Structure 1
């Protein structure tokens, strides 16, 4: 299972790299420096939003389901708080192009969702915890 999470993390990092490079070039061509900043900020949001979930699952892959679920929920809450703070700080700033930012975030996050789906769909996950026994002999 750790291999699947490693593969998913690698895929997310490649996606963030592609969003960064392509978004920066297209953003710069469309909106100049503001478009470049919009794409770079979007790549950072994509990395935090998508990479943190996969990293949490990778780090807790050998833990119990309860520990992994706790890490996932904790990561999600932290991620939401960071995004709210970041969006609050960026709201009144004008150094970045909001259109470029929006498009690059959508491409990055939707791409990450598809990568996560592909990774999870290919996993073989047992329905019980290994070593839990089958209840025989009680």
Structure 2
């Protein structure tokens, strides 16, 4: 007599979550954007405002990296969690980013070692570029509306 499970095929491994490649692409593209904005921003900052422009660009790149990367990483880390958990993590990350931004802006308010115009320029380019890259990753991603078997 054979074992009860001997004639049943093994369960097929579950496919990787289809959302993960979309999020990985968004994260990869965002990192490339941050590097490009960092290189261009520091060069332009140096030309426009000297060392204060360099510092403005570096601060802008750091803030852009934190803001753009946190949301994608939060969703990527919670793809296998419930929607409530994912929403809670994303909301918590957003609140943390806002608090961090307020602290950074309060600390930098009376400092003069950086150029504010370069900082704002880098932030605007980074935020708009990141939003466009996220949109492109989602629009080109192939994510089914429902899971197989449901």
Give the aligned CA root-mean-square deviation in angstroms: 1.4
- How far did residue 126 of structure 1 move? 4.2
Deviating above 6 A after TM superposition, structure 1's stretches of 4 or more consecutive aligned residues are none
Gaps of 5+ in 2: 1-18
TM-score by length of 1: 0.90
Residue 7 of structure 1 is matched in structure 2 by 25
Residue 26 of structure 1 is matched in structure 2 by 44
Residue 107 of structure 2 is matched in structure 1 by 89
TM-score by length of 2: 0.83
| In 2: Cα distance, 1:32 partner to 1:24 partner | 10
Residue 7 of structure 2 is matched in structure 1 by none
Where do residues 69-88 of structure 1 align in structure 2 (5 Å cutoff)?
A: 69-88=87-106
Aligned residues: 132
| In 2: Cα distance, 1:11 partner to 1:123 partner | 13
| In 2: Cα distance, 1:132 partner to 1:92 partner | 59
Gaps of 5+ in 1: 134-138
SS in 2 for 1:93: coil
Query: Do structure 1's residue 99 and structure 2's residue 124 form an aligned pair?
Result: no
1:49-103 superposed Cα distances (whole Å, 9 cap, x missing partner): 1110011011111211111111111111111110011111111110000011111
| In 1: Cα distance, 2:142 partner to 2:21 partner | 11
In the superposition, relative to structure 1, how do residues 66 and 125 fare at CA in structure 2: closer, same or farther (>3 Å)? farther
1:63 alignment partner, one of 81, 84, 100: 81
Larger radius of gyration, structure 1 or 2? 2
